[in-house]
A and B are shown apart, each in its own frame.
Chain A
């Protein structure tokens, strides 16, 4: 697969879907080394985490989550060309922009959405715990 066009003295053109697939994010850095040029994600400063946890605790928890998902997949993630979500493979899904992903989820969600008037209401016990 051709992922970049190199033109001497005219720059490098990389297709948007390739950048999406690489998950570089909105901003990335170009690092020039000897005999190589690398694109790396700009460090995304995350100032706040859920539960007021520290960045260190967040990394530990993410590592745990990675261990759990890899354990469920038998140590290897599914192949990138296997069906993933909404009729797309992981590779195809990764190539979508955030707006396209949202549109896909909206479309699939709409299949299960019902009008307010058609919603079935459930009874609640008189001693139910009320949020507050």
Chain B
């Protein structure tokens, strides 16, 4: 079974994608962030990347996007799957939260380690992708601490949870 690089998109990327595609439809100039989000999503399959979004973002799109921005929603959802919280997600999210990440950021970051697809066939993603630069920098600063805590926690877990890793956190333009 091949294992393409898995990327979890946070809300900031979803928003820029929607704004960018809506602007494209109207022939408007896209900002750099909009271009990055549209390109990241549009070319993911071709570049052998698998994209995910949190279930909360999926519900938001189904409630607010499907009816009134149907083309943007269709284009997005055909390229992105939902990442569900796996076992130990809550325990890890609490630890991330305790390092003063917002509840939303803590959940996205924990999902990057303890998230799975609908069939439970994968665990974690290689990178969380966000336009939130403070979040990128804060995650970098906390890498050593989180690495140690995750190793301590994973030592007591069964497979496959024992092999869980920390995702990188990158801006869309830095996804290679």
Contact = CB atoms under 8 A, between A and B. Distances in A.
Contacts of B159: 126
Interface string A52-95: 11000010011011101110110001001011111000100000
Given A23-B28, A122-B87, A129 B94 contact: no
B6 A131 contact: yes
B19 A101 contact: yes
B60 A108 contact: yes
B25 A122 contact: no
Interface residues of B, number: 78
Nearest to B159: A126
B133 to A, nearest CB: 14
Interface string A19-50: 00001010000000000000001001010111
Nearest to B83: A122
Interface string A104-115: 011011011111
A112 B1 contact: no
Contact of A116 (B28, B43, B94): B94
Interface residues on A, range: 35 or more
A123 interface: yes
B104 A72 contact: no
Contacts of B75: 65, 68-69, 72
Given A126-B159, A129-B121, A112 B21 contact: no
A90 B71 CA distance: 14
A124 to B, nearest CB: 5
A51 B51 CA distance: 14
Contact of A83 (B11, B31, B40, B68): B68
The 5 closest A-B pairs by CB, nearest first: A72-B71, A131-B124, A77-B25, A112-B59, A66-B24
Interface of A: 23, 25, 41, 44, 46, 48-53, 58, 61-62, 64-66, 68-70, 72-73, 77, 80, 82-86, 90, 101-102, 105-106, 108-109, 111-117, 119-132
24 contacts: A50-B36, A50-B173, A62-B42, A65-B38, A66-B27, A69-B21, A69-B25, A72-B75, A77-B22, A82-B68, A90-B26, A106-B11, A113-B56, A116-B94, A119-B85, A119-B107, A123-B87, A125-B119, A128-B120, A128-B122, A129-B1, A130-B123, A131-B126, A131-B165
